[in-house]
Amino acid sequence: MQKFLLKRLRRLARHRKRGQSIPIIALMILILVAMVALSVDVGNTFSEERKAVSASNAASIAAMSAYIDRSSTTTDQSIYNAIVNSLQSNGITPGDGTNGTVKVAAYYLSPQGEVLVSHPVVGSGSEVPTGVGYIQVKLEAKVNTSFARVVGQNDLPITASAHAGACPVNSSVYPLAIDSSTLGTNKFNSNGTTGTSPEYVVLSDGSVQRRIYVKENNVPGSFSWLRWMEDKGVNGKSATSAEELTASMTGEGNISKGFEEAPWPAGESAPEGYPLQPNALNIGDWVWGTSGWMNSASLDAALDNHIYRKTFLILPIYNSADVRGTGSNVQFRISDLGTFMITGRGHNSKGWYFDMIYRGAPTMQYNACSVTPPPPEDATLLELFGGVSFFPEYQTNPVEQRPIQYVVVLDTSGSMSANFDGRCNNTTSGSNYLQCSNGPAGSRNLEVSNTGVDYWWNPQNERRIYVAKKALERLVSLTNMPGNTGYTTTRPADKMAVVWFNSKVPSGNAMNFSNNKTNLTNFITTANNGYGNYRSVGGTNGAAGLYRASLLFGAAPKTVAFNGNNVEYKRVVLFITDGVSNEFLNPSNSDLDGGWSYDATYASGSY
């Protein structure tokens, strides 16, 4: 049987007609071309649609921002113009949806997600409507095809739709309650004061600065600390602790991370539905308090930062008749919110106090944001809308900012005594100068050497070394170190080491890691100061400076113990120099100096 089949196949092969494979090959080529055409056209369409989606998101936010920031002169057309301008900035040309243009439709929606009946289309009227909850931007267009035209498909459709709403900025509210009896119309009153400085001061702009004292258990006062949670704060510490209070008073505050209303006092009738908005601070809420003053260096630093920055603080206001409990069980009912500024703090025979200015009611701040509006109302459904926060049990909340180990490597070579154009003028007069260091493109060739010893630039505040040192002194003041404005103990302090280099880098040119801002600043200021703090000399051995920095890192721990945990430092090297090195590194020498080269740090023939 097998022999018969083999003979049959050979006979068929001998009688095969020429050209039978050509139609098959042609068909395969056609299929391949069609597949390539499909991938090119579909890929191009997908790219354009993705671009349209991004553009519609940006346009809806631009429209909502214009709506939020509107004034009495804002027109409906200006809201639409914000959409058009945003689209154009993202490469979208509004039009009829053909020939590379995009058809644009924009709608005002109610807070319930329905088209605003009184004024549905953005740009269709003269006045901006009220009661807008969302703005929707829809884009439609047709993308011209390249290969699909062969089969009669000249274009492919794309669509995009985006919604934007007004999201409240849940920040800058702090747990410091003010007694309403001290307040008048947009300013403090003088009730209970001497009416004279420093108790009560009328400022030049008409506002009033008043001294208010902390409320103790048995001592009357005009302010009291609050707490946003009953037992545990958002950082896991006791809600009555100085650590949690400091966290709530730092920066923009942390009420957005968690808030618990206090229950309605026992034995008193609570209104139906209390609290009206659970886990969100509202007028009429009962809030937990913390009696007395809180002694804490980190809290003092947070308060001093607000004083220094003249922060407008949104603070709860209470009526003295609406206070229940004592100690850690004290509760305050919030009657209003106000905008305040702390101008000073201290202690005298009456107790701890703040000097404050009252600015009146706060203006609720909103930002435009991308949102998904609620679906249109369906009478057959029971609907519930609201915000949801999801915290998986396995989630760990990382430290917001790791402490930083800085190593500053500072060039103090002679060329740093020139200005930024590489010029020296101490031996010339008028507008004359000598080219004493490399400058920007177009500068004259080098004319003199021994810069720093024989030649330098005046005035000194225009020298490279002066600018570099002042910038580093400023950096030290901005780190999280004790004594700096904004220093916080909610995370480990930053540390810094400093290495300065010229031709040589002995161990004395390095200062080990420290968080003493005074010592660090002095070391930076006096680096290579044989001719004064801001006149440096010597060659440029950048490799030796970096090598010395690596030794500092190698000997320093990578972590620090903090609140029972080992927190890893973020390591940062700042290498500050004005040019290419001309000195060699020799790790075998104590000063790391390996000789010099006029042209480069690599000897001829060594590479």
Write out pLDDT tens, residues 220-232. Answer: 667 889 999 999 9
Cβ atoms 223, 216 nearer than 8 A: no
- The verdict on residue 195 lying in a domain is yes
| 519/481 same-domain check | yes
| 144/285 same-domain check | no
515-574 pLDDT tens trace: 999 999 999 999 999 999 999 999 999 999 999 999 999 999 999 988 777 889 999 999
| 111/199 same-domain check | no
Q: Which residues lie closer than 8 Å to 437 by C-beta, 6 or more apart?
A: 414, 415, 418, 422, 423, 424, 446, 451, 578, 579
* pLDDT of the residue at 383: 52
Mean pLDDT of the chain: 84
* pLDDT band at 13; cut points 50, 70, 90: low
Q: How many helices (DSSP H) and strands (DSSP E) are in the chain?
A: 8, 22
Spatial CA neighbour of 334 closest among 259, 387, 385 = 259
With a cut of 90, say whether residue 591 has pLDDT above it. Answer: yes
Cβ atoms 408, 524 nearer than 8 A: yes
The residue that leads in pLDDT, 184 or 167, is 184
| 452/487 same-domain check | yes
With a cut of 60, say whether residue 15 has pLDDT above it. Answer: no
| 208/113 same-domain check | no
- The verdict on residue 200 lying in a domain is yes
Task: Decide: helix, strand or coil at residue 203.
Answer: coil
| 197/320 same-domain check | yes
- The verdict on residue 379 lying in a domain is no
Average pLDDT over residues 396-421: 82
Which two three-digit tokens encode residue 381? 């459904």
Last residue of a domain, one of 166, 190, 225: 166
Q: Structural domain of residue 122, as residue ranges?
A: 41-166
Q: Which of 16-20, 58-62, 339-343 has the lowest mean pLDDT?
A: 16-20
Rounded CA-CA distance 300/483 in Å is: 11
Spatial CA neighbour of 155 closest among 163, 166, 143 = 143
Task: Decide: helix, strand or coil at residue 591.
Answer: coil
Last residue of a domain, one of 108, 140, 166: 166
Count of alpha carbons within 13 Å of 440, Cβ hemisphere only? 3
| 357/435 same-domain check | no
- The verdict on residue 377 lying in a domain is no
End-to-end CA distance of the chain: 76
Cβ atoms 78, 137 nearer than 8 A: no
Cβ atoms 288, 229 nearer than 8 A: yes
Last residue of a domain, one of 312, 339, 367: 367
345 has which bridge partners? 354
Q: How many domains, the chain?
A: 3
**Amino acid at residue number 49:** E
| 506/475 same-domain check | yes
Which two three-digit tokens encode residue 224? 């009291």
Average pLDDT over residues 56-67: 90
| 127/257 same-domain check | no
Q: Which of 223-227, 263-267, 321-325, 438-442 has the lowest mean pLDDT?
A: 438-442
- The verdict on residue 397 lying in a domain is no
Instruction: Tell the burial category of 134 from Cβ atoms under 10 Å away from its Cβ (0-12, 13-18, 19+).
Output: buried
With a cut of 70, say whether residue 205 has pLDDT above it. Answer: yes
Q: 0.75 exceeded by the pTM?
A: no
- The verdict on residue 607 lying in a domain is no
